[in-house]
Structure formats: C-alpha cells, structure tokens
A and B are shown apart, each in its own frame.
Chain A
Amino acid sequence: MSWIDLLAWMISAFNHFVLVYFLVLNTSYLALFLLSLGAVFRFVRRTFFSDYRQILQSEMTWPISVLVAAHNEETTLVDTVRSLLMVIYSEFEIVVINDGSTDRTLPRLVDAFALTRMDRPYRQAIATGRVRAIYGSLDHPHLIVVDKERGGKSDALNAGLNLARYPLYCSIDADSIIEDNALLRVVKPFMEHPTETIAAGGIVRIVNGCEVKDGRVVRIELPDAYLPILQVLEYLRAFLSGRVGWSVLRSLLIISGAFGVYRRAEVVEIGGYSRDTDTEDLDLVVRLHRHMRRKGRKYRVVFVPDPVCWTEAPATLSVLRRQRARWHRGLVRTLWDNRGVLFNPRYGTLGMLSFPHAFLFEMLGPFVEILGYIVVASAFLLGLLNAEFFLLFLAASVLYGIFLSVAAVLLEEMSFRRYPGWIDLCKLLVFSVVENLGYRQLLSLFKIKALWDVLLGRRGWGRMERAGFQQAPDGATVSAAR
C-alpha cells in the first residue's frame, strides 16, 4: 500500500467516523426530545389542574430567599428588583449582592428603593470577600442589599447565602425577569418531595423583542434582529428538548444560573459556589450530584418546563462569542475537575449517560464537527469522496439538525405557545433551517476558541453589554434591545 493509498484510507476512515458521530449525536438529541415530549405533556396536564392561586396565598407555603448577584447592572437591576417585589408569594426576602460595581448600580438601587445602611449581622458560613455595607429599606422590609468588594459572581452568591434566612433560596441573574407565579412553580417539586428535592430550575426565554412594563413582560414577540431569534430557537431546543429529557433521566447536569432554586443546607455543606470556575451554575449542580451520591442520600435535581425567566440575549456577535467562550471554558473545567464521574457506574445515569454525553458531544463535539466539515468538504473537492457520501454527511449533520430544531418548535407549539402570532411561528420555522446553516457552526468555532483558551489557562467573564429591557410607551425611557 503506497502512502497515498494510506492517506486516502485514513481520510475515508475519518469521514466515516464523522458521519457516524453526527448520526449518534443527533440521535441522542432525538432520544432526549422524545423523552421531553412525554414529560412536557404530562406537565401541561398536571399544571392545568394545579391550584397555584390558592397555594400562593397560603401562609403555609415554604418561605424562600431570592438572591440576585449584580456587577455593573445599572441598566436593568432596578427593573429586575421591581419585578421580584411584585412576585406573588406568601413569604420571601430578596437579597441583592452588589459585587463591587464600578457604575451607578448601587446609587440607583439606593434611590429607587430608599435604601439605608443597617447593622445587620453577617455570618460567614462560607468565606467571602469583604462586605462593605448592608442596606435595608423602610419601604420594602423584605429587601436587603449587600455591598461587597469585587469577588466574582460565585463570591457574591456565597455572600448572599450567608445572609439568606430561609431553608430554600433562589438565584436569579440581575438582567432577568421572572414571571409572577414562577417562584411557586419552581418551589412545587420541593413541596411535593420535601426530603428528596435539592435543586430545581425553570425555563429561560429570551426577552429581546418583548415589551416590558414595570418589571413585567406585557407583550411577547420575537425580536427583529437575526441573532436573538437564533438564540430563541437554541434556548427552546436546549431547555424544552434537552433539559426536560435529562431531568426525566435524573441526571440533569445544569440548572441555569439565571433562575434556579436550591436547598440552602446542602449548598452550604459543599462550601457554596466555587470561585474557581467560569460557570458557577454547572459546577454547583455537578458537585451537588457528587456530594449526594457519595453520601448515598436519595435526592432529586429537577427541571420544571413552565416557570419562565426572561433574560436578555447578546445582540452582537462579539458579545455572543464572549458569552459562549465563557460557558464552554466553564464546561471544560467542570468536566475535567469531575472526571472521576465519567463512566463510573457508582454515579448511575449521571456517570454512564449525562457525563459521557457532555464529554463527547458538548465538550469535544465542536472540535469533531468543525474538523469534520473541513475534512469532508476538502475530500469532496479533491475528488477523494463521492457526491453520495457528501450528501449523506450533509443529511446526517444539517438536515437531521433542522429536523430537531423544528421538533423543538413543535413541542413549544403543542405545549406552552408563548409566541401566539403567525409571523412569529413562520419566523421560528424559517430560522430552524437557518440555525443549522451557519449559526451552529459559528458557535462551534467559538467553543473551539474557548477550548484553546482553556489549554492556555485563560479565563474571565468578559464584558456583557446590555441595552436594557424594552419598555412599554408609558414606562421609563430605556432603549430597545432589538
């Protein structure tokens, strides 16, 4: 066999490997979609009957501490806190942690909620950076604002955990809005299985294009800009078709930091949020899983598909790139730190299913995917590959992907129907195709760059530029986020 033959054989073998890889990858997503389909239907039927309104008013509902970590969030934080103060829930407190903001985040809060400094005791159950001051409000007795030196989001959340009084806490991103009944819906699994549930998360949807009035989403519409629409679809796929399925398999690896509820005791037991990660939400859930499995305790980490948290999506490619690079760095770091779970039967479905999936498809997937596109396309152009194989490859990678995107739209359309307009539905269908013809590949490139950064030991949050929520005409004058 000459070396040319050997090279041709190797290219052919790699091409076949990539084809199989895509087939397995997309089939795993299809399996998750099918699991989600059943779970979402069961959920919708149950929700229809649930007495949320009465339970909300009951004094017997469990109290909860809501933690909001904020760093330079002057455009959105006041709205977020307003939306939280309007949340319908019997007993709760809001703890806002100003993590060394250098803009007007703190003065805006002080003005908006008539905050005054108070001598509240600060118990360091978890060690944190120095707390400069604690503020309370005479108008809003359930609101506490902690001003601390910059220590990162994890450090800020740990400071919030130190101040939280109640056994359950909810972490919410400063640029997010939760719906009125979202808190109770996500607390429900804790009340249904009081001894087992340790963490629960809700769905995150994109607020760009929606109209916000006084901290509430009053009109839901898709954004005009392409990039946020693509993220709407991506989130639908990730949350409705993905996390619901993982939740059914009892091996959900992540509860979005934008909106999740946890039992405080267990989180304090594992030392709170790790400061050594780019994605504290993923890291926390993985460590909780390990802790509970090691202790042999029966537990549940649940995803609830309806409680909605609205969040602002990056509107420019550079911000999106930084966000995804950070997410991927965090994923790589967490998977590496917890590599002992991989294919370890002691961790059940976590070790045998979700960890390998995250390792092979989420972490290494972008690399195989991009290399696959390059090699297969080059081989085709050089005449090393026949047209049939090339088309089969496109079918397995792109067409299968389109099918999965449309399936996510179908799931949304058959269950929650948050986008009622015909134009929005058509946009979603068209963008299901577009998503797979460039956007997904672009995200893979961002992730490869992040993988590279990890190898070079770089990290950091990157700057998020926010436009603020789009206000209804009679609301405050904040520019549109389209």
Chain B
Amino acid sequence: MSVILIATIVGLAAVFLGLTTVIVAGKAWREAGEARDRTRRQFLEPRILAYAQAEDGSIRAALGRTPSARDRRIVEAVLLDHAQRVRGAAFERMSRALDELGFVERYRAALRSARSWRRAWAAEQLGLAGARRAVPDLAAALRDPMIDVRMRAAKSLGLLGGAGSVRELIGALDEPNRWSSIRVADVLAGMGKGAVQEVIAAYPSLGAIGRLAALDVVGRARPLAAVPWLLERLGDAAPDARARAAHALGAIGDPRAVPALETALRDSAWPVRAMAAKALGRIGEPEAIPPLRRALRDPEWWVRSNAAHALGALGEAGTTALEEVLDSTDRYARSQAVVVLEERGVVDARAGGLVSDHAAERHVAAVFVRRLVAAGGTERLAELAADATDLALREQLRAHLAPAPTSVEGRS
C-alpha cells in the first residue's frame, strides 16, 4: 500500500510541478524570443525596404551577409508582410528576394508534405510570395483532400492571376463544401471581367453545385455584359439556378432585365419569385409596380415580404402603391403593406399631416389614417396617439382609433 501511495502522490505532484514549469517556462521562452525578434527586426527591416526600393542588387548583398536561421525567419516575415502592401516593382523585388533566399522552393516542397496544415501554410505563402512558377503546384493543390489546403490554393491562384489559375479555379467551383465554394467564387469574382467570361463559357460543363457557384460569381462581379446570359438562365431547368440568376440581375441593376423578372414573379418555384421581387426593388424601375402589387397576394410569405419591401424602395410611386394596397381584399397583402409603411416611417410622416395648416394635407392624412386603421395597422398610430408631442395630433389620432359608436336601434 505504502509503495502505491508514495508512487501516486509523488507521481501526481511531479506531473503537477512539471506542468506548471512547462507553462511558466514556455511563456517566458516565447516572450523572450518575441522580444529578441522585435529587436532584430528593427535592424533588418530598413535594409529590406531599402532593397525593395532600389533598382538592382541582390537581397543577400542588402543584408550584408548570409542571414542566420533566426534572421532568415525574420527576413521572411518582413518580406511577406510588405509584399501584401506594395505593388509593381517593389513587389517584384520582394518576390525575387523570397525566391533568391530559397523560400519559394521550400514552400513548393512543403506543398507535398504529409501534414495538411503544412501544405495549407505553403499554399498560402506561395500566393503571398507572388511565385508564378508555382501555379501548376497550386492547381494540383486544388484537388487536395483537405479543404484548408484547397482554400489556400484558391486564394493564392487568385493573387497570382493568369489564365491557368482561372481554369483551375473554375474546376474547383464544383466543391460541395459551401465555405470553400464561397471563397473560390469570391476569388474568381475578384479576378476581373476576363475571369467572369471564362466562368460563363465553362457553365455548361459544370455540375449542379458548380453552376450555382458560377451564378454567384457573376452576381458578385456584376458585369453589365452578362445580362443577356443571365436572362437566359432565368429559363434554366433548376429552380435554384433561376433564383440565383434573378438575384444576380438585381445586383447588376440593368433595367433591361425588368420584363423577364416580371415573368419570373409568376415562376412555379417560390424562391425564384422571392428573388425576382427583391431584384425588381433593387433595379428601381417604376414599371415594376403593378406586378409587384400582384406579388403581394402570393401564397408564400417570403415573396410577399420581398415584394412589399421592393415597393417601399421604389420611391413615392411605390409608397402610393403600398397605400392603395391597404384597401385590398387580401389580408396578407394588407398586412405586408402595413409593415413596410411603418418600417419606412411613412405612417409617422402621413399622420403628422393631420394637424397641418393646409386643409388639403389634413384631408390626405385623414384618408390615409382611416385606410390604415381599416387595414388593421394600428400599432404605430396607437403609440403616436399616446406619445406624440403635439396635443392636437394625439387627440385626432385617438378619435380615429376609437371604436365606431354602435347605434342603439341596431342592438334591438
């Protein structure tokens, strides 16, 4: 027993002390290292920046001697930090320095490492280092089993640009992982018109997931030239593709898309109708008002909500249309109109007219308030009737909100 006891207590105490030592010593070591690195960086950074600004000369010459292992790490960090902030000749010099010091080769080798985090790290560094000769390696990394490696590779290919990168990235759009496909789509959207054209050209060869991502790319890049192609996509067999095409057309905002989007408001799939309504609001053409008014009677809540908000975004004409909907026989349409009129502050503005000096304005306000009350939109009015600073306005609103007196004869 005593042997077990001593062994247990000593063992646990030793582990406890060991852990404490590891924690304290680890922190001390790390902080001391960081302090030494900061001091050394203050010495090395000006030399590296001077090298980047110069027209010729090698990095080794700029540093004065072959850097030690510690200095190499600091030089690498400085070069990569600044490479992200500069363009043109200075960037090219930094890129060349990273190659000259052997970092690019090291990253390329690391891209074949067995450890996935190391491959991801290498993929990222190659992009930052502007290593164009690594495009084939990065293209291969787009098929890596680990998502982090694929994402890093996509980002780096985006930074490096070039036709080879675009083709490989388009292939990666079929990625089932949403996190990754968003990044690839963003990278492609950021690569300019040429890349978007290639995405459009590759569309028929992509799978279902890739096609949706391709539509996202076009919606993000918003090229006016893509409008005819997107209009065709509104006739796509897949409802998701039609919905995203509608969304992209709204993002581009070209009035040429209005008639097709009006048709899409009658699509059999509600996500397409909802996106079409939203898009019409973003484009902002008043000719969309009548179909949007009809969409307020849609059986799907999202479509009604988007149509009401779209009308709210269409200026005075849209607001008038929403006011007219207050008399609608459809209670869902009335309800959406009330929500948007309240959200956009129209109720406050119109109700204020009740105490205007002009008879015509008072009349318009009274008609509006009556319609609103009849449509069931009493929440904001009740609040104004209780809190408005103008006593006359409060009284007027209370009168409007009071229940209509019931006739005595009628009761018998």
| A contact set with B: CB distance below 8 Å | 42, 45-46, 49-51, 54-55, 58-62, 116-121, 123, 133-134, 136, 138, 141, 165, 188, 191-194, 386, 388-389, 391-392, 395-396, 399-400, 402-403, 406-407, 409-410, 413-414, 422, 425, 429
Contacts and interface: CB of A to CB of B under 8 A. Distances in A.
B216 interface: yes
Given A49-B148, A136-B342, A425 B24 contact: yes
B127 to A, nearest CB: 12
B192 to A, nearest CB: 17
A60 B186 CA distance: 9
- Count chain B CB atoms within 10 A of each CB in A406, A410, A414 and give the residue with the most: A406
B2 interface: yes
Contacts of B382: 117
Interface string B335-358: 100110011110010000000000
B4 to A, nearest CB: 7
Contact of B380 (A116, A388, A400): A116
B179 A119 contact: no
B343 A133 contact: no
A117 B383 contact: yes
A60 B183 CA distance: 10
A193 B179 CA distance: 9
A96 to B, nearest CB: 16
A120 B183 CA distance: 36
A422 B24 CA distance: 9
B183 A136 contact: no
A54 B343 CA distance: 31
A391 B9 contact: yes
Contact of B23 (A141, A386, A409): A409
B58 interface: no
Contact of A191 (B152, B182, B305, B379): B182
B220 interface: yes
A243 to B, nearest CB: 21
B393 to A, nearest CB: 15
Secondary structure of the A contact surface, majority rule: helix
Contacts of A60: 182, 185-186, 216, 220
Interface residues of B, number: 53
Interface stretch (B14-22, B89-97, B314-322): B14-22
B195 to A, nearest CB: 16
Contact of A55 (B24, B182, B376): B182
Contacts of B301: 121, 123
Nearest to B340: A118
22 contacts: A45-B117, A46-B120, A49-B120, A50-B151, A58-B182, A116-B348, A117-B379, A117-B383, A118-B379, A119-B335, A120-B339, A121-B339, A136-B343, A191-B177, A192-B147, A194-B178, A391-B5, A392-B1, A395-B5, A399-B9, A403-B12, A425-B24
A429 B25 CA distance: 13
Nearest to A195: B176
B27 interface: yes
Contacts of B16: 399, 402-403, 406
B7 to A, nearest CB: 10
B360 interface: no
Contacts of A54: 183, 186
A389 B5 CA distance: 8
Nearest to B177: A192
Nearest to A426: B24
B9 A118 contact: no
Given A46-B148, A59-B220, A188-B179, A118 B380 contact: yes
Contacts of B20: 406, 429
Contact of A118 (B120, B147, B343): B343
Contacts of B216: 60
B262 interface: no
Given A49-B120, A117-B383, A389-B5, 19 more contacts: A51-B183, A54-B186, A59-B220, A60-B186, A117-B379, A118-B339, A119-B376, A121-B301, A165-B305, A191-B177, A392-B5, A392-B8, A395-B5, A395-B12, A396-B8, A399-B9, A403-B19, A422-B27, A429-B23
Closest 8 CB pairs of A and B: A117-B379, A45-B117, A191-B178, A191-B179, A118-B342, A399-B12, A117-B383, A119-B338
Given A192-B177, A407-B19, A425-B24, A49 B183 contact: no
Nearest to A409: B23
B378 interface: yes
A55 B147 CA distance: 15
B155 interface: yes
Interface in B148-187: 148, 151-152, 155, 177-179, 182-183, 185-186
